[in-house]
């Protein structure tokens, strides 16, 4: 880290100057909007969107990178993660301009670099190189450092508010950055029909509709209060014409089979949902209304995720034996709950071992797992899982 500061002062100064320029743009924006000049407003608006987009992309890339590494580890080791996620601000001494160093450290047992040491090292290096002074109360510049076993990221936050805050969402449900990440994984294309069968306050649909406007969005929920909230959100965001709401149950969707192109949903966490049975019926219904080749992106809690893997493990004995001609009668005996007769034909088309881990996560015969990312929701972790509906018959 020291070397990073000392060997490459130019990149630091470059980054700072870009950051300063962006801040100036921000200030200019405020002045312009007061003047209420339409063409100018639009131009500035565009810039804002570009910046926001870039950051969103960076953010999601970061999430994706981070979590893909973790996923690999998980598959290999299948042990519980030992990660300390620590955020700390630390005071240092120095001169102008004042800085505030904020660090997060992801450590495992091997390295044991504490945030204190890291903070000290960086702070001292910066002081020596640029003559900056640390100030905890009113810094000009905030430096953010993320260090884990695989890589380190040093950055300067551009926005003073959390990235997830949105001007157009009145009441947020799911964190907006996660919603956007899910939507971006779903391969939304113009003219698609996108369904969120448990939309709640509609956060996912709002994020998607803002980014991909040439699309038909439908949100569904069983709760009146949530639908009212969603309605308010849509009005506030000006998206009432792009998103339709239905009061329907996700296990009984009043839609013809294969009528929807994309499903994005946040599976409710919490004990109200009895894991195995409910999830199975939800997935069956989602799978039914989805077009072949369509994608499903789900946000799963740790429990649901574990359940998905366990569900499929009961089918694994079929696969490892390499026998694909087990009679339906025998299969039913192995797992009387699930209709595994059909899923067998899908399994037989997979390559044996390197797909086995992903197969473990396929909860439903014709839904092929594509990718899966671990994300942080603040206090808890969750998984964004993407599936595609293949040609073979359903659950």
Partner 1 sequence: MKLLTHNLLSSHVRGVGPRGFPLRLQATEVRVCPVEFNPHFVARMIPKVEWAALLEAADTLHLVEVPPGPVQGYERDEEFLRKMHHVLLEVDVLEGTLQCPQSGRLFPISRGIPNMLLTDEETES
Gap between the Cα atoms of 163 and 56, Å rounded: 8
- To partner 1, the closest distance from the beta carbon of 284 in angstroms equals 12
Q: Which is nearer to partner 1, 95 or 214 (CB)?
A: 214
Region binding partner 1 by CB under 8 A among candidate stretches 45-53, 156-164, 209-217, 360-368: 209-217
Do the Cβ atoms of 118 and 101 come closer than 8 Å? Answer: no
Q: Is 246 in the site for partner 1 (CB under 8 A)?
A: yes
Q: Is 361 in the site for partner 1 (CB under 8 A)?
A: no
Q: Which is nearer to partner 1, 254 or 378 (CB)?
A: 254
Which residues, 6+ apart, have CB-to-CB distance to 8 below 8 Å?
A: none
Residue count, binding to partner 1 (CB under 8 A) = 25
Gap between the Cα atoms of 59 and 66, Å rounded: 10
- To partner 1, the closest distance from the beta carbon of 199 in angstroms equals 12
| Consecutive H or E run containing 172 | none
Q: Which position among 19, 144, 216, 269 is part of the footprint of partner 1 (CB under 8 A)?
A: 216
Other C-beta atoms closer than 10 Å to the C-beta of 111 total: 12
The two three-digit tokens of residue 240, written as one number: 């009432």
Provide the mask over 100-139, with x wherever binding to partner 1 is found by CB under 8 A and - wherever it is not.
----------------------------------------
- To partner 1, the closest distance from the beta carbon of 255 in angstroms equals 6
Q: Which position among 245, 296, 361, 367 is part of the footprint of partner 1 (CB under 8 A)?
A: 245
Q: Which is nearer to partner 1, 90 or 258 (CB)?
A: 258
Please tell me the number of Cα atoms within 13 Å of 62 on its side-chain side: 18
- CA-wise closest residue to 280 among 244, 242, 248, 312: 312
- To partner 1, the closest distance from the beta carbon of 41 in angstroms equals 18
Instruction: State which of positions 6-65 bind partner 1 (CB under 8 A).
Output: none
Region binding partner 1 by CB under 8 A among candidate stretches 121-129, 246-254, 330-338, 355-363: 246-254
Q: Which position among 194, 198, 255, 283 is part of the footprint of partner 1 (CB under 8 A)?
A: 255
Reported for 85-91, long-range contacts at CB under 8 A and 24+ positions apart, including other chains, are 85/376, 86/115, 88/115, 88/116, 88/119, 89/136, 90/115, 90/116, 90/119, 90/120, 90/123, 90/134, 91/134, 91/136
Region binding partner 1 by CB under 8 A among candidate stretches 168-176, 200-208, 251-259, 364-372: 251-259
Instruction: Give the residue ranges of DSSP H helices in the chain.
Output: 2-7, 9-35, 38-77, 115-130, 176-185, 203-211, 224-237, 275-289, 302-313, 316-321, 328-334, 340-347, 353-359
Reading phi first (left if > 0) and then psi (alpha if -120 to 50, else beta), residue 181 is in: alpha
Gap between the Cα atoms of 334 and 332, Å rounded: 5
Q: Which position among 256, 270, 322, 329 is part of the footprint of partner 1 (CB under 8 A)?
A: 256
Q: Which position among 127, 169, 178, 253 is part of the footprint of partner 1 (CB under 8 A)?
A: 253
Q: Is 254 in the site for partner 1 (CB under 8 A)?
A: yes
Q: Is 247 in the site for partner 1 (CB under 8 A)?
A: yes
Q: Which is nearer to partner 1, 241 or 351 (CB)?
A: 241
Provide the mask over 169-198, with x wherever binding to partner 1 is found by CB under 8 A and - wherever it is not.
---------------------xx-x-----
Give the DSSP per-residue string, 274-289: -HHHHHHHHHHHHHHH
- To partner 1, the closest distance from the beta carbon of 73 in angstroms equals 42
- CA-wise closest residue to 98 among 145, 155, 142, 154: 142
Residue ranges in contact with partner 1 by CB under 8 A: 190-191, 193, 213-216, 218, 222, 227, 231, 241, 244-249, 251-256, 259
């Amino acid at each position: 880290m020291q070397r990073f500061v000392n060997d490459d002062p130019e990149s630091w100064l470059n980054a700072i100057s870009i950051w300063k320029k962006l801040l100036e743009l921000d200030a200019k924006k405020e002045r312009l909007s007061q003047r209420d000049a339409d063409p100018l407003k639009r131009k500035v608006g565009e810039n804002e969107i570009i910046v926001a987009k870039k950051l969103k992309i960076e953010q999601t890339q970061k999430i994706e990178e981070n979590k893909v590494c973790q996923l690999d580890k998980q598959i290999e080791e299948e042990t519980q993660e030992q990660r300390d996620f620590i955020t700390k601000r630390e005071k240092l001494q120095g001169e102008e301009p004042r800085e505030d160093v904020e660090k997060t450290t992801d450590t495992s047992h091997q390295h044991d670099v504490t945030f204190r040491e890291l903070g000290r090292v960086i702070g001292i290096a910066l002081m020596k190189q640029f003559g900056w002074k640390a100030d905890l109360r009113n810094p000009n510049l905030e430096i953010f450092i993320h260090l884990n076993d695989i890589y380190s990221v040093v950055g300067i936050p551009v926005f003073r508010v959390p990235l997830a805050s949105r001007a157009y969402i009145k009441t947020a449900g799911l964190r907006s950055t996660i919603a956007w990440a899910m939507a971006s994984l779903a391969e939304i294309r113009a003219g698609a029909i996108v369904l969120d069968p448990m939309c709640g306050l509609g956060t996912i649909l709002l994020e998607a509709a803002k980014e991909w406007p040439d699309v038909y969005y439908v949100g569904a929920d069983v709760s009146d209060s949530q639908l009212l909230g969603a309605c308010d959100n849509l009005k506030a965001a000006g998206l009432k014409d792009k998103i339709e709401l239905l009061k329907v149950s996700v296990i009984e969707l009043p839609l013809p089979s294969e009528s929807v192109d994309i499903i994005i949903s946040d599976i409710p966490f919490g004990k109200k949902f009895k894991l195995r049975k409910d999830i199975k019926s939800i997935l069956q219904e989602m799978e039914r209304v989805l077009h072949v080749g369509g994608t499903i992106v789900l946000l799963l809690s740790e429990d649901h995720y574990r359940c998905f893997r366990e569900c499929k493990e009961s089918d694994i004995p079929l696969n490892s034996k390499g026998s694909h001609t087990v009679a339906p009668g025998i299969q039913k005996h192995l797992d009387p709950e699930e209709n595994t007769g059909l899923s067998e034909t899908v399994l037989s088309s997979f390559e044996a071992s390197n797909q086995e881990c992903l197969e473990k996560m396929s909860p439903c015969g014709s839904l092929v797992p594509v990718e899966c990312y671990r994300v942080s929701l603040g206090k808890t972790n969750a998984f964004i899982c993407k599936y595609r509906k293949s040609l073979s018959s359903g659950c």
